[in-house]
Structures are given as structure tokens and as C-alpha cells.
Amino acid sequence: MTIGDTADIRLRPLTAADSLEALTALLHQSYASLAAQGWNFTAVDQPVSLTAKRVSAGQCILAEQVDVDGRLRLVGTVMVRGPYRPGVDAWSLDTPCYTEAGTAILSQLAVHPDCRGRGLGERLMDAAEDWARQEGYTAVALDTAMPAIALRQRYERRGYQLLGDVQWEGKTYRSVLMRKALGHDPTEQGLKA
């Protein structure tokens, strides 16, 4: 199943044939600029085993770029899943919006540094929100570093509203929690159809 296509980048779901090592390397490359600012997001240095655990819990969407020789290169990803389960998913602590039955959770949004500025992050978020909508979720929640103003503004432009903040164990920053209500028609939310 192809989720979306453009001239040289296509989106599709992760399959069992995909390399979790390559996905983990993409996350490390994509989050390196955040690490350089002192923010130790999980994706900065997560091991392949954690990537495997995270992608097994929902829908991981990949973005691949077709080069001039027709080869595919992994250039982006996003993860979307259902609510966290208290007692099973440790990160649900102190985040009621992450345990609500109708709320999907978006995470691991990553775009390779040399593909930024082309709208790929927006396309990945569109695809994640579309998946959540198709699965019957009425909202999508996410978190990001409180000092990451540009990221917060990006999510606000997409209709995400601030719910509060949380201090995740071991993180060098507080995180803001944000949620967006999903309409049934993508154009209701100002998204591309």
C-alpha cells in the first residue's frame, strides 16, 4: 500500500522486510541537531531494540526518496499508535491524554537533514493523522521539548493545542503535551485532501 507519492519521495508503511538498523540510523541523523542543543530526545541515541519495540506498537510510516538510478533511500519516518496502556507502557505516567481510548499518539517524526524544507514533515504528519482517523481515533496527541519553540509552533499551526507539560524521567528538558481533534474530512482541519 502506498500512502502518498511525489516525484521523488513516496510514503509507505513499514514492513517486516525493512531494516530496523537503517530506521534507527535515520532517527539518529534526524535528531542530531536537537541533541546538539542539549535535548536528549529518545530518538537521539535509541538502540535498534527500542526502535523495534516502538514500531511494533502501531503504524510506522516511512518516506523513501528515489535517486537517479532508481534506488530507494530512507529519508523520513513517523510513528502513530493507539493509547498507552497503564502498567504496560511506562511513558503513560502523568499523561492522561495518552491513555484516552479515542486518542492516537504521534512520535518519532524524523526527516533526514538533507531533505528538510520540502514539506516532508507535513506529509508524514498528514499520513499519521489520516491513519488515526481511518482507525477511528478522534484525536492525536504528541509531546515535544518545551524549549523547542519552532517545533511547538509547527504543531500549533496544524491545530495542536497545549494541554500541559511533563518532566519525563532522565530528560534534560520538560516536555509540552499537545493534542489535536480529528475531523472526519481532512479538509475540515485545513489539511491537504
193 pLDDT more than 80 = no
The edge-to-edge listing of strands for the beta sheet with 72-81 is: 4-5, 9-13, 58-66, 72-81, 103-111, 139-145, 175-181, 161-166
> What is the model's pTM?
0.86
Domains of the chain are 4-138 (3.40.630.30)
pLDDT digits (tens, 9 = 90+) for 59-110: 999 999 987 788 889 999 999 999 987 777 766 566 778 888 899 999 999 9
Reported as a single tens digit per residue, the pLDDT across 135-171 is: 999 999 998 988 889 999 999 999 999 998 888 888 8
Q: Give me the sign of the Cα torsion angle 83, 88, 91, 96.
A: positive
Q: Is the pLDDT of residue 26 over 90?
A: yes
